[in-house]
Chains A and B, each alone.
Chain A
């Protein structure tokens, strides 16, 4: 790491790689450029986090909600990846860099302020209408990352989540929220 303090954004994997989304979840062919362009305009170094769902459930995984993913084994998987991310955050923090984190608020794994919930989802995957709800709280990986950072004595980065799958998604609200984060 160089001695010059940098601005560094740790971003959810799918913001650079829409192919990692659950089938039906991609919004773009390759990357979610509203975030990527803004980070570049503001001079942020991009650090892409792993996609825990892709690595665990595969590219053909079904949609899921927090209650389905919240198992000890999935948490161990997320913690393994969180150790990697925390190690990199630690190196940046040690260099005095300004670190932010951008997740995805419709994700049971990468949600920052919201995460999808449906306690009744189980069994045959034939739900016609998505009747999950978005509840306040972190996704599983974000929880494990915060726990790992705490164990290492590292501060939690300022953070927010992309909400492009919210029914009332407002690009102007999201831009304002991101601009406040990237102050």
Chain B
């Protein structure tokens, strides 16, 4: 172990459907990721997944880490309920970074 710990103390809770499209950007911005459950799981498994997600989030929030949400709406209400059960308010939304202006330069 080292005293030189580069952790960002910034975490994005990310919907499964947004994980792949956002990974490069989140890595570039130095975010760690907590993955939300994918579609198609049974309700009991989803509830267990969100319960442990909320436990992780609550612990990070208790220690003043920044935690944001990149959500697709699939489990918004269930996540809010799991967080509320631990006294954690809804998470602020992750602001998707605008594309580089170089990509907007017309081909002339």
- CB of B2 closer than 8 Å to a CB of A: yes
- CB of A48 closer than 8 Å to a CB of B: yes
On chain A, the residues within 8 Å of B23 by CB distance are: 31, 36, 40
A59 touches B59 (CB 8 A): yes
Q: State the CA gap A17–B26 with chains docked (Å).
A: 11
Q: A24-B3, A84-B45, A87-B45 are in contact. Are A46 and B8 (CB under 8 A)?
A: no
> Which of B5, B29, B55 is the one whose CB lies under 8 Å from A26?
B5
Q: State the CA gap A22–B63 with chains docked (Å).
A: 13
Which residues A126-151 have CB closer than 8 A to chain B?
130
Query: Chain B contact residues (Cβ within 8 angstroms of A): what range?
Result: 35 or more
- CB of A29 closer than 8 Å to a CB of B: yes
Of the listed residues A1, A29, A46, A88, the one surrounded by the most CB atoms of chain B closer than 10 A to its CB is A29
Q: State the CA gap A50–B26 with chains docked (Å).
A: 19
On chain A, the residues within 8 Å of B107 by CB distance are: none
- CB of A58 closer than 8 Å to a CB of B: yes
B31 touches A84 (CB 8 A): no
- CB of A163 closer than 8 Å to a CB of B: no
Return the chain A residue nearest B39 by Cβ. A1
> What number of A-B contacts does a CB cutoff of 8 Å give?
112
> Which of B9, B29, B55 is the one whose CB lies under 8 Å from A19?
B9
- CB of B77 closer than 8 Å to a CB of A: no
Which residues A41-55 have CB closer than 8 A to chain B?
46-48, 50-51, 54-55
Q: State the CA gap A77–B54 with chains docked (Å).
A: 15
Minimal beta-carbon separation of A94 from chain B (angstroms): 11
- CB of A23 closer than 8 Å to a CB of B: yes
Minimal beta-carbon separation of A35 from chain B (angstroms): 12
Interface residues of B (CB under 8 A from A): 1-3, 5-11, 19-20, 23, 26-27, 29-35, 38, 40-42, 44-45, 48-49, 52, 55-56, 59-60, 62-63, 65
* 26 cross-chain CB contacts under 8 A: A1-B40, A13-B34, A16-B33, A16-B35, A17-B34, A19-B7, A19-B60, A20-B32, A24-B5, A25-B5, A28-B6, A29-B7, A29-B10, A30-B29, A30-B31, A30-B33, A36-B23, A40-B20, A54-B56, A55-B52, A55-B59, A58-B62, A59-B62, A87-B48, A88-B41, A91-B41
